Amino acid sequence: MSIIEGAIRFMHTGFNEHKELFNELKQTQNPHTLFIGCSDSRVVPTLITQTLPGELFVVRNMANIVPKYRLKDEFLATTSAIDYAIIALNVENIVVCGHSNCGGCEAIWHP
């Protein structure tokens, strides 16, 4: 199935299955967990945690790296997302999820 076919299928079935939830989420989000994971295509946060849309605020990057906190004039994606999740969204939990056979972690040890 192509990505376009999947989007069309979602519009006809998946969206309707959770129509009430999406209606609530269109105004605001209130995730309970910040999930920091690898951008590896095999890691699917909502699948492995069995959560619905709106429950996770997800940050994905190579090797699920959480950079050292520092004050800068520039905005960095991961640190900005972490800051937003904690300060604006008041998430209750933070999960940093690693996985086996991570290419990013492998590259650190075998450049």
Name the residues annotated as catalytic: 38, 40, 42, 99, 102
Residue type, 4: I
Q: For residue 79, how many other CB atoms are within 10 A of its CB?
A: 18
List the beta bridge partners of residue 97.
37
Walk across the sheet containing 33-38 and list its strands: 56-61, 33-38, 93-97
